[in-house]
Each structure stands twice: as structure tokens, then as C-alpha cells.
């Protein structure tokens, strides 16, 4: 009985030339020609159980090598691990650029998110876009969308840049899809609740708000509670920042604030904001967050723990931190409110 040169753990029996030829032929039929095991069994005059054993042996002996290939910029292993850890519907991890530490939400996240939306959005859907650099990059990269309505979910960071920001993102997505656009020409944060309420009642803004309960797919950004990485943080005064920091703010999304456990804090801020409500986000079937970079990782963790997000597009820098971030959180797809409200 001769022993082949195969590694430990594989079958030690050497296959004769007839067996090798037959195994190669069966493998070709099964893997390349798409024939079933029953069809192969009929062709070779053996049982389908014999075919199954031969195919298994072909794998063991390296006659067949199965490779799973995805584009080089996608990390399939991290993506699957992240999806499982947070109970997400989809998690897509892309390779971080060399300067990822200095550049949260690199532009390639937007490009990947654009491709993901092309998969998720169906004809007749209502697509909601929240303010954020990553969603703006995503909209710029869109090249396919089925016919759908596109609505803006938040006001803009700076009304003076609306044409180059969220409003343009909504218009771009609607142009690609051939659907209607409902932008919001208003700042995200107002000086007081009364001004915000008055703006919400203006015709154009009110029309956009009417679509919030009809949104089927939403695209949002996530910010850390620090300068330059949170739109809301940068819009507030020093005194206001200190106040919300004292409440334990770790992250913000669409002007909603979260502590490290994913609980909403500082809810009074929402009264001054033009934004979709948290309970409306929770009812949207698919909420895709686009956020990356190691500096944003713990903010991403906090928002994922809130249960508001169903899918994530991120990068390897953030994914490595997220996979080591404390105990496994409650799965996001139960959409439960951590506050119990």
C-alpha cells in the first residue's frame, strides 16, 4: 500500500490512473458543466453516492481547487464576521487607504455604497438620503438605480453649500433613477425649537417630511463626538458641546445622539433640528450606514447597538476595532429600542 505525498489529514491512498481520469472527468462535469450528481452517475454507470465520494476525493487530492474571489478592495472575511457580530443584514468592508487614519469615510466607501444601493433599491421604492460626506460621495458614484422617489432626510450642514451637498445628492440620485426628487432647502440645526417647527411647516419642507413614513431604503452617515468628525458637534457652541458630552454622547447620526451602549441621549436637540425622527428610521426596512476609519469605529459601534441600522459599509481600519469592541451586542435586526421606549 503506497502513501502519496499529500499533507497530513488527507487520504493516504494513491489513486491509479483510471481513477484519476474518471475523477477529473466527473469533476469537470460537476464544477464546469453544471451537471447534477444524478446526471453524472447515469453517464458513468455508477451510483450518485459513488459520484459524491469521487468528487470529495478530487477535492482532497487537489485535483479540484475551489477559490472564492471577490474584488481586491473588498474583504469578504471581515465583512461576514462583522455581519454576524452585529446581526446585520449586509456588511461590506473595503480596504482602507494608506491615509485612512487621517481620512474618516474615505471616498471608496461611497463608491461601494453606490453599488450596494444598486442591489437593494427596487422599482417603486422611496430612497431617503441623510446629510453626510459619505452619502454625498455615494450619490456622486451612482450609475444605476431603478425608478424610485428620492427624499432628503435631514437639513444641510450649511445652507450656503446646499447645492454642493445633500440637495445635490438627492438630485443626482433622482436623475440616475429617473424618479422624483424631494430636497430640503434648510439648515439641519436651528437656533431654537420654534424656528425649527416653523420651517417644518413650510410647503417644500413639509412635502418632503410627508415621505419619511414611506421610505423603504435609507442611507445615513455616522459621526464621532469630536471636531471634524461630527456635523452636529461642529454646529454647536462650546457650552452646548460640553452639555451633551456630560450626557455621555459617543456618536451622532442624522442629528440623533447616542451613548456608547446605543441609547439615545440629548433628545431635546432633535426639537431644534430638521431631520427624520428616530422611530421613523426604526420602521424603515433597510437603513444603510456608511462610515469608516479607526477614529469613527466606536461611534459606529454605538449606532449599530441602537438597532436603527440594518446594513453597514465600512473599511478594514474600522472593522478591526469593531471586532474587538467589547461583548457581542444584541443583533440589530430585531430593531429593538435600547431605551425601551
Cell 459606529 found at = 300
Contact 314, 109 (CB under 8 A): yes
Backbone dihedral region for residue 293 (phi beyond 0: left; psi -120 to 50: alpha; all else: beta): left
Closest CA to 112 of 332, 286, 312, 319: 312
Separation of alpha carbons 260 and 249, rounded Å: 7
139 vs 129: CA distance, rounded Å: 9
Name, in order, each residue with C-beta under 8 angstroms of 237's C-beta and a sequence gap of 6 or more. none
In the chain, DSSP finds a helix count (H) and a strand count (E) of 14, 11
Mean pLDDT by 10 residues, the chain (341 residues): 32 64 88 91 91 90 74 81 92 80 71 92 96 88 94 78 70 95 91 92 93 96 85 86 91 94 92 94 96 92 94 94 80 63 50
Residue labelled with grid coordinates 450609475? 143
Pairing mode, strands 223-224 and 251-253:
antiparallel
Contacting residues for 276 by C-beta, under 8 A, at least 6 apart:
128, 130, 153, 154, 212, 215, 218, 254
For the chain, domains (ranges, CATH) are 17-61 (1.10.10), 74-324 (3.40.50.1360)
Extract the C-alpha cell encoding 303. Answer: 449606532
| Distance, CA of 112 to CA of 114 (rounded, Å) | 5
Residue 222 CA to residue 95 CA, distance in Å, equals 19
pLDDT for position 104: 65
| 263 Ramachandran zone, left/alpha/beta (phi>0; psi -120 to 50) | beta
* Structural contact between residues 187 and 160, judged by C-beta atoms closer than 8 angstroms: no
The pTM (predicted TM-score) of the whole model is 0.77
Q: How far apart are CA 6 and CA 307, in angstroms?
A: 49
For 48-76, b/e burial (b = at least 16 CB within 10 A) is: eebbeebbebbeebebbeeeeeeeeeebe
Kindly state the helix (H) or strand (E) to which residue 50 belongs, with its residue range. helix 48-60
Q: Helix 166-177 and helix 133-141: axis angle, to 10°?
A: 30
pLDDT score at 334: 62
Q: What is the dihedral of CA 190, 283, 90, 95, to 10 degrees?
A: 0
Amino acid at each position: 500500500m503506497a502513501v502519496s505525498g499529500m499533507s497530513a489529514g488527507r487520504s493516504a491512498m494513491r489513486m491509479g490512473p483510471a481513477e484519476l481520469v474518471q475523477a477529473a472527468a466527473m469533476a469537470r462535469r460537476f464544477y464546469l458543466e453544471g451537471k447534477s450528481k444524478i446526471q453524472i452517475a447515469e453517464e458513468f454507470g455508477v451510483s450518485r453516492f459513488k459520484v459524491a465520494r469521487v468528487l470529495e476525493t478530487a477535492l482532497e487530492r487537489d485535483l479540484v481547487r475551489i477559490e472564492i474571489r471577490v474584488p481586491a478592495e473588498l474583504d469578504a472575511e471581515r465583512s461576514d464576521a462583522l455581519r454576524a457580530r452585529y446581526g446585520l443584514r449586509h456588511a461590506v468592508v473595503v480596504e482602507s487607504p494608506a491615509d485612512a487614519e487621517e481620512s474618516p469615510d474615505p471616498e471608496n466607501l461611497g463608491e461601494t455604497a453606490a453599488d450596494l444601493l444598486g442591489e437593494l433599491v427596487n422599482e417603486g421604492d422611496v430612497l431617503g438620503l441623510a446629510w453626510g460626506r459619505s452619502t454625498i460621495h455615494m450619490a456622486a458614484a451612482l450609475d444605476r438605480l431603478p425608478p424610485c422617489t428620492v427624499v432628503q432626510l435631514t437639513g444641510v450642514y450649511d445652507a450656503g453649500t446646499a447645492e454642493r451637498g445633500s440637495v445635490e445628492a438627492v438630485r443626482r440620485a433622482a436623475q440616475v433613477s429617473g424618479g422624483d426628487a424631494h430636497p430640503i432647502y434648510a439648515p439641519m440645526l436651528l437656533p431654537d425649537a420654534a424656528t425649527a417647527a416653523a420651517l417644518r411647516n413650510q410647503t417644500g419642507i413639509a412635502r418632503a417630511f410627508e415621505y419619511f413614513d414611506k421610505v423603504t431604503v435609507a442611507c445615513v452617515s455616522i459621526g464621532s463626538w469630536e471636531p471634524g468628525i461630527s456635523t452636529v458637534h461642529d454646529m454647536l457652541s462650546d457650552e452646548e458641546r460640553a452639555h451633551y458630552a456630560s450626557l455621555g454622547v459617543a456618536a451622532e447620526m442624522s442629528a440623533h445622539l447616542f451613548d456608547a451602549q446605543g441609547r439615545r441621549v440629548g433628545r431635546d436637540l432633535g426639537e431644534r433640528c430638521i431631520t427624520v425622527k428616530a422611530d421613523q428610521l426604526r420602521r424603515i426596512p433597510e437603513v444603510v450606514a456608511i462610515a469608516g476609519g479607526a477614529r469613527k469605529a466606536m461611534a459606529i459601534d454605538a449606532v449599530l447597538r441602537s438597532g436603527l441600522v440594518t446594513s453597514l459599509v465600512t473599511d478594514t481600519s474600522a472593522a478591526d476595532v469593531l471586532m474587538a469592541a467589547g461583548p457581542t451586542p444584541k443583533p440589530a435586526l430585531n430593531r429593538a429600542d435600547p431605551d425601551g421606549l
